[in-house]
Each structure stands twice: as C-alpha cells, then as structure tokens.
A and B are shown apart, each in its own frame.
Chain A
Amino acid sequence: MNTCDPRHPAAEHNLGSQTIIEITDLRTQFGDTLVHENLNLHINAGEIVSLVGGSGSGKTVLLRQMLGLNQPTAGTVRVFGEDINRISSEDLQALRTRWGMLFQHGALFSALTVFDNVAQPLRELRVLPKDVVRDVVLLKLQMAGIGPEHARKMPADLSGGMIKRVALARALALDPDLVFLDEPTAGLDPHASESFVDLIRELHDEMKLTVIMVTHDLDTLFALSSRVAVLADKHIIAYCAPDKVVEFKHPFIETFFRGERGQRAFEALPEPSERKEDA
C-alpha cells in the first residue's frame, strides 16, 4: 500500500508539494510505557488531516508535540520548516502567532468575557489600534457564528457549542496558517456538530487554513478530511484520503471504520464477521 505511506503523501491535487509539518522517527516514552516508535508523518499545506487512533494510542500527545507542549524522547518535529524543540525563543514566539489551537473543552479564560478572550492574542501584540482590535474580534466572532450580543458574556454563561465557537474564534484571531483541533465535535449534539463541521470547512476555504484535528467522530472525519492519518501499533500505519484508508488492510482500521458502515457513503466493503463498536 504505497499510496498510504505517511512519508510520501501522494499529490492528489495541484498543491500538496509543500510540507507544513514534518515528523521524523519520533519516539515517545513515559516511564516504561512506549507510546510512539518510528513515527513518521509529513503533512502538506492546505490539507484537512484527521488523526485517528484508539483510546490511549497517543493522539493527543502527538498533537501536543506538534505544538511544542510535550517533548519527544527522540526524533524531530518540524513545523513551518523549523525544529520545534530546537528553535530559538524569539522564533518560537513568532511561530506561535501563525498557528491556533482549539482545545477539547475550549480552554477559554474563565475570568474574561467572550470579547476579551478573543481579543487576548491581538492585544498581546501591543501594536494594533483599539478600533481595529474591536472590529477584528467582532468579525471573527461573527465568522464563528457568535453574534455581537454575546460578546459581553462570561464563558460560564455559554453552552458547550458556543464555547467551541468562541474558542475557534480565539484560535483564528491572528489569521493563522495552521489550526489544530482537539475533538472539535465531541460533546455537541448532531445538529450542532454538523454546523460546526460546516463552519470549519467554510473557514478552511476562506482563510486558507491547514487543519489538523483529532477526532473520534466518523461523520466529522468523512465530512471534513482531505486525508486521514491512522495511529496504531505506536506509529502512523496509514496516511491517505478517507476512501483509501478504509480499504487499508489492518485490524484496527477494520474495527474502527467498518463497524458502522451502514451509515457511510462508500459501502462496497465486505461485511466484517464480527461487529464491534469503534475502539
């Protein structure tokens, strides 16, 4: 299955030659537990990549390593061509204005209003005039589907879906090139998660984002991803388009994707003998 090699993502569209994230021979170890070994992944600019894997397979750890929050035991993680663990602090600071992260539970600053939460990264630059900050914040909130009437509310007064939208607006405040989403639709009802998926797709097109998300939600995965990276056996076993990934022969992929095949669009797959819920 050469088409699913994580090191050489096949160019399926005109773009796809520029690498935005490059993970080489990554190894992660906590005490005696080996989480990742020989993990390689090259992600091209403009993709929407879904990272899937069983619980405890180290998806979130991998995401945090891309953000420089966790250090790998060995191997390199390059983001925008820079080794994230060897970068100078000024470059890291500059790099941090070029990505945004949507945390699973929003991670909004609970002591600040919605407006101040989104304004925080803009004010941190200390150069933008007040009226520009105000307009940019309200525009970003509007783009994320939050009207200006909610801008003075506190995070504690918001519903789960609204928290995600505000957190997304905050992640996008600085017009990043790269956005990380940790379980973007977890905890949302089907309607809310569908509209959130539409929102991410619209913003991806409009703001020329590269999106990397961890998700368990197959609907989100198939609706959004241009590629799927499957993390199992401590490394990325397959990295290619969703319709190719489901054909990949691996026990994890068979239980993960084919368990719920009845609802999917591409059902030319043999019925697995044992039906299991997704891992």
Chain B
Amino acid sequence: MDQNIPPIKTEIKISGMVTLNEEIIVAKLLMQIDGIVKVYAHHKNGKSEIYSSREISLNELQQTLAGYNFQVSGWGNKEITGSETDKKRISGKDFLKFLPVVILVVTAYLVYKNFNLASQTQNVESVNLWVIFLTGLTVGGLTCLAVQGGLLASVIAEREEESALGKGIAKHAIYATGAFLVSKYIAYVALGFLLGAFGGALNIDGRVQTVMQLAAGFYMIAVALNLLNIHPIFRYAIIQPPRFLTRLVRNQSKSKDIFAPALLGAMTIFIPCGTTIAIEALAISSANAFAGAAIMAAFILGTMPVFFGIGFITSILGETFKTKFLKLAAVAVIYLGITSINGSLTALGSSVTLQALVESFPKTISLGKSDNNTQSSQSITQNAEIEITSRGYVPAYLKVKKGQEVTLTLKSKDAYSCASAFRIPTLGVSLNLAPNDTQTVKFTPDKAGQITFACSMGMYRGVIDVI
C-alpha cells in the first residue's frame, strides 16, 4: 500500500525478550499496529528497529506490548532501564524453563534402568553415549536451533494470534516448546530404533556392519572438518534435504492447529543437519535396534537445552562463544569418528589400530581394554580357555606354538555386549555365543606372528601370539 513512501525508521529498546521466540512474538504483535511495515527485534540487547509509514509513539508501542511483560523505551536511555530488568528475568524464569528437560532426562534414565534396556544397549559403550550427548549439547543444539528454533517460534506466534488470549504468552511458549521437543524426541528415538534394526537386517555376515562403521567414521570426520571450515570440499558432506520436504515442514510451522508444535517437532526428522545425519549413520552401524534408539536418544536429549535457554546462554558467554562452541563440537565429532574407524579396523583384523600403535610403543600408557593382562607370565598352551563377559575377554593374551592345532574354548558369562560375537578376522572365525554359553573353535596356525581376535564391532580385542 505504501510502497512508494520511504518508511520511517524508529530505534527503540524492548526489554524482556529472552529467547528467539519472544523476538518473533514481539515482531508479530507490533506488526498489528496500523502503519508499521517491518519490525526487527533482537533479544540479545533489546535493540529493535521499527519501519513505519507514519510516526509511531513509544506510548502506542508500550500499550500493544503491555500485557506481555515487555517494556519499551527509547534506544538512547537503554542502560538505565534495560540491564536491570533483563537480569531479573533471567534468574528465576529461565531455570524453570529447564525443568521439562530435566524431567525428560530423568524419565529416560528410569525407563532405561527399569526395562532392563541396559543389557540390550551394551553394543554402544556408555562413554560414547556421553560423547554423543555432548555433541548434541554443543553442535547439534546450535545447528538444529538455527532452523528449528525459527520454525518453532513461528508456530508459537501463529497460535498466539489465533487464541487472542493475550496474557500468559510465556506459559504458552513453554507448553508449545515442550510439546515440540517431546514429540521430536519420540520421533528420533523411533527413527534410531528403525535405523538400528535396518543396520541389523543388513548385517548378515558381520562384514557389512564393519564397513558401515568405517564409513560412518569417515563421514563424521568429514562433518567435523566442515565445521572447522578446513576446506570447501567438506561442504559436500552435508546433505541438503529435498525442497518438497523443507516446504512441508515450513507449511506445518504456519499452521494454527493446537497440535501444530507437536507435529512440527516430529517432522524435524525430515530436515536433519549434518551432525544429525552423522549420528544417524552411527545408529545404522550399531546394527541393533536398541543401540540405535539409545544413540539417537542421547543425541536429541543433548540438543534440547538450547531450545529453552539460548538467550540465557548467549547473554552469559557473549558473541564469540558460538564459533568456539562449534570448534569444541567438531572435536567431539572427530573423537566419535576415530573411535568408529578404529573399531572397524580392529574388527577387520587390521594391524593398524590405535591399540596396536600403543602396544608398539614402550609401555608407559595404556589404552583400551586389552592391555590389562600380563603378557610375559602367560605360558604356552594349545588348549586355551577364554572367558567372555560383557566387558571383554579374559585372558586377552595367549601364547601358542605354530604348526600345532589350537583348541580355544569360549565360555560366556552374562555376556550381553557384542563381546559375545567372537571373531578372528584373519582366520575367518565367526562365532556367536548366547550370553551364557560354551563353544569351541579349532585352528592350526602355520606361521609365527600375532593373530588378533575381537568382537564384531572391534570394541573388545585380544591377541594370540604364535611362536
């Protein structure tokens, strides 16, 4: 209507905006005032720019925002009114906002414990689950928030316009964010379950899993190098979702339906960012539905807190923190990648693994689970018994003579981890034991050297020294 008249720019300070959500809500509210053509609101410092076709008084703006806990002042006198109210808001309310996340974490933990999922998910080391959680907390959260935070804010604002209730907007935002996150969590855990099961279905002879694990490892490193901005080529590691899917999600964010936030949350599985895809690859390579679900659960739980407290966190840590955070996250992703590659190399029987590298050094540091053995005191035996527990193999070092048949008796005791999938890659030995089981394998080594045995994922290993 007023396209030809250059708009009047007014700079004001709006206090009380803590998150991106509130930014959008403020903008939507102010846009309803006749004459205002564009609003830019920034939650970090409260500076807001209003473009209008007529002069707008502070009073008019304040009246519109009065019921919503936002205060308007001129940009010039920001220091007097601004900082104090900001601090007040941050202290109480924002910690309350973390409550749904805390509740989710606790329920997830209780479900995990009580339904005895712990034994099912031993395929993933708990240490790695923590790294996955941390990855979610750092990079996953930030990259997810870039798009999903905006979508969520827009769906909240749509609902707010519809209900026209006015007050209680902060409460509504928390409910909507909660619904969004809970359904997102459920969708991703289900996805992880399916990806793990899919990996398991592919994994007929064990080789496929190892190859997938290797690929997932390299992919994660490529993603990390992209985050570190090492070279433009690593941008190709980031898969851009097809436009019809992003449109679908976009349209959902414009819906006024009461279930819109929840549906939107579930639909975010269609627009994964690079890190999410890397974690999904890890879920497939776990080749176990429960392990896949646990991996995705740890990651998504990690991404949640930023949705509630991004304004709070950035206001404490300042501007430069985001880039530093991305670097930290890249390190976590590299760690996951290396662990994954190392595991697959061990499972393939490669002599180039981290453990092998460490063993070739003088014994000052120890790494992994295979080093807690006393190599020199081990006597030579052609009839060895190896005990398998969830934690690996005892003994993990054997001495045998070449040219004579070796009989290995494998006894599993409550072995719920992948340790029960016993492999000697170089000899083509592949035995899958039940948690409590006994099986034997016979072979004749024809040359001296070291033979590595390991579980199917390469997490637990040991060495047979042929002399």
Asked if A and B are interacting partners, one says no
A interface residues, Cβ below 8 angstroms from B: none
